[in-house]
Structure 1
Amino acid sequence: MAPTSTRAFGWLDDARRSREAAGLVRTLRPRPADSPLLDLASNDYLGLSRHPEVVAGAAGAARTWGGGATGSRLVTGTTELHARLERELAEFCGFEAALVLSSGYAANLAAVTALAPHGSLIVSDAANHASLIDGCRLARGATRVVPHADPDAVRKTLATHDGPAVVVSDTVFSVDGDRAPLEQLAAVCRESAAGLLVDDAHGLGVLGSGGRGAADAAGLSGAPDTVVTVTLSKSFGSQGGAVLGPAPVIEHLVNAARTFIFDTGLAPAAAGAALAALRLLRREPERAGRAREVAALLHRRLSAAGLSVARPDAAVVSVRAPSPDEAVRWAADCRAAGLSVGCFRPPSVPDGISRLRLTARADLTDPQIGEAVEVISRLAPNGAVSAGS
């Protein structure tokens, strides 16, 4: 008889069969450096990941500081470059201070866990990103999930708690690209003296004045009760994340946030690339408006073709598919036709509806937009196009 230890992971066979039966198998697909595909799948909203200045920023930082940060931020992992990026990022977004971490995911875990101690209440939007959800699960405070984008539900939930509380939400939701009602959420929070913590991963670089983000657009930049997390891997075309907010909040994270204290600092190359992208956006603020314009064009033209397209508030354009299997086939057919699109299926979508997810990049030309619309609409599966279109 085989040792029982050989069956330690035997349950994985059942898990694999369940995924296959549900059409939810995921695979890695390495892309070449010179991919011929038209890219509407990445999060490179401003088209900066290959911009010469951003690449030079990464290369120069690597030459100056080496290939890695060499340690945690509290030991050897904080360079003068990290400090410069934090100062300029905070100033650009209108906040008192910033703290750079190794990813946007780590930034969300840091902020939620450090700002929701034992005895506190976390009020979390039902459509929040997985990183916010995981932060809520790891925090010592109690979490209540409320219906999507519903300030009144937030108000009622806060009224049930007497003590510290924080409301947690994405600013732009990554599935349908809709915006959270930040102004109303902020007003509700102030009624109960609760903090507002928002993830602006999909807003930074696209919304607000010159791409300063959703908090800027909502008039919340620098508010003493508002904390914003961002990623450097989307509009800035680099890697990493950051928390922005009042100086006392950032000081607290330095001392209490485990994903900051115990993680190696962001690699200098990524910090250099992000700083170069930030400076480029300051010089070319029109990139933010162009990303929104491309999103509006995709929405209008795909809707005219009879597809069910969520109205975008930023640079995420979501096209509904009839089923998970058909979403996968649709994306694969687009890829075969030279177009790369995202494919969202359960459990990545909170409502269980599969979608193609398109990135409205600022550097897409009008002919490229036309090509994308033609391919997506021509290859749409039965059930994706409404009758009479």
Structure 2
Amino acid sequence: MLYADHLPGRTLLADDGREYLYCSGTGYLGMARNADFAALLAQGLARYGSNYGSSRNSSLRLRIYDEAEQLLAHLTHMPAALTVSSGYLAGQMAVKALARAGRFEYAPGTHPAAWLTEHPAPTSTPRSFPDWARHLLRRLHHETPAPVVIVANSLDPLRAEPYDFGWTRELPTDRPATLLIDDSHGFGVIGPGGAGIAPGIEVPASVQLVIVSSLGKAGGLPGGVVLGARPFVEELKRSAFFAASSPVVPAYLHAFVHAQALYEQARAQLSRNVAQFAAATAGLDLFRHLPDYPVFYTPANELADFLQPRGVLISSFPYPAPTDPCITRVVLSALHTAEDVARVAALSVEFAGQQHP
């Protein structure tokens, strides 16, 4: 394990005195180390201070919250948005509001932020996402109609697996139903203009769609968002959960609102990086990845130990618990240069050659 006293960007100066090319983390667009974004944040800090330690429901209302939430709703093609101080809080606020909306059905690997209880009831035989979706749809259409809340991630960011949500068009319309999707690893990266999963989801008119997401990954903001129909978002605003929680630091929302050109540039650079790495490693049978997505998963955990002494640090650790299997991934960001990508790709080719001479 390495330690550092600064946030890594494209490189990391670790406590062992070495500089590593950093290919880990979830800052896909590199905003946390983007100098132009930092300048916008400085403007926000000068205008709003370092924190807003008040309830959003107090007698003072800052317009930046409405501006940012209207922009988020527009970007994701959703009716309304509500920002909160973390992605975890966004998930918990949404599921708590839906606690009495029906029986909860969890997809495999659903993030803990969207768990209603401490942990969803375990299944006797873990299923793949497609298998789970098929069985859920069959069961819903054959059981006595009862309200249901279906909860899932938008994709698997650990093993770089896509989730096909075509089945949601066939959800039954004879009962109240809600589909809640955690898009923390998709928002800002996938979808048109980084809109995330929302534009690609189709549900019957009777099914309520709710999207929750962290803003701290591709967005580079310490906050989260709940997206949904306006009546649902207004209900959240009236909740004690929302009134008693701290809001996003407004300086960050100021930066977000004014940084849309920077996000677009970063997505373009990230897309080039992903395409370059995918092409350079295509014949290795080493990685699994999604089109235009910056995570490259490998079951070969030894890759991390091969790369580290050669000056490249990738993501490789047991997740989510220390007793779980190790997850090893090369994670690219918009901060990486073409030379960086070529370096990691070349080392991956060298590693694969040693594994299969």
Q: TM-score range by the shorter chain?
A: 0.7 to 0.9
CA contact (8 A) 2:173 2:207 kept: no
1:298 to 259, 270, 277: 277
2:101 paired with 1:129: no
Which position in structure 2 is the counterpart of 1:29? 3
After TM superposition, give the deviation of residue 59 of structure 1 in Å. 1.4
2:303 paired with 1:321: no
After TM superposition, give the deviation of residue 72 of structure 1 in Å. 2.9
Which position in structure 1 is the counterpart of 2:70? 87
Instruction: For residue 156 of structure 2, give the secondary structure of its aligned residue in structure 1.
Output: coil
Alignment coverage as a number of residue pairs: 341
Per-residue Cα deviation, 1:285-336 (whole angstroms, up to 9, x for no partner): x6445534533543453453342x22324332211135xxx5xxx5355344
After TM superposition, give the deviation of residue 349 of structure 1 in Å. 9.8
Please give the TM-score of this superposition, normalised by the length of structure 2. Answer: 0.82
Which position in structure 2 is the counterpart of 1:19? none
Q: 1:367 to 1:208 in 2, by over 3 A?
A: same
Q: 1:51 to 1:233 in 2, by over 3 A?
A: same
Per-residue Cα deviation, 1:78-133 (whole angstroms, up to 9, x for no partner): 5221221111111111111110011111111111221132x72111111222322x
Give the AA of the match of 1:98.
Answer: A
1:373 to 331, 341, 345: 345
Per-residue Cα deviation, 1:245-278 (whole angstroms, up to 9, x for no partner): 11011112223373x3332111123322333334
Instruction: For residue 250 of structure 1, give the secondary structure of its aligned residue in structure 2.
Output: helix
CA–CA distance in structure 2, aligned partners of residues 114 and 131 of structure 1: 14
Give the AA of the match of 2:190.
Answer: L
Identity percentage of aligned residues: 23
CA–CA distance in structure 1, aligned partners of residues 339 and 161 of structure 2: 26
Which position in structure 2 is the counterpart of 1:342? 315
CA–CA distance in structure 2, aligned partners of residues 65 and 304 of structure 1: 51
CA–CA distance in structure 1, aligned partners of residues 59 and 22 of structure 2: 38
Which position in structure 1 is the counterpart of 2:15? none
CA–CA distance in structure 2, aligned partners of residues 277 and 53 of structure 1: 8
Q: 1:114 to 1:359 in 2, by over 3 A?
A: same
After TM superposition, give the deviation of residue 356 of structure 1 in Å. 1.6
2:197 paired with 1:197: no
2:176 paired with 1:176: no
After TM superposition, give the deviation of residue 64 of structure 1 in Å. 1.3
Please give the TM-score of this superposition, normalised by the length of structure 1. Answer: 0.76
CA contact (8 A) 2:32 2:220 kept: yes
CA–CA distance in structure 1, aligned partners of residues 274 and 88 of structure 2: 25
After TM superposition, give the deviation of residue 74 of structure 1 in Å. 2.5
CA contact (8 A) 1:129 1:174 kept: no
Which position in structure 2 is the counterpart of 1:269? 251
Which position in structure 2 is the counterpart of 1:226? 209
CA contact (8 A) 2:102 2:177 kept: no
CA–CA distance in structure 1, aligned partners of residues 335 and 42 of structure 2: 23
Alignment of 1:131-146 (within 5 A): 131-132=113-114, 135-137=115-117
Which position in structure 1 is the counterpart of 2:326? 354
Instruction: For residue 99 of structure 1, give the secondary structure of its aligned residue in structure 2.
Output: strand
CA–CA distance in structure 1, aligned partners of residues 145 and 272 of structure 2: 44
Structure 2, gaps ≥5 residues long = 13-18
Give the AA of the match of 1:339.
Answer: V
Structure 1, gaps ≥5 residues long = 1-26
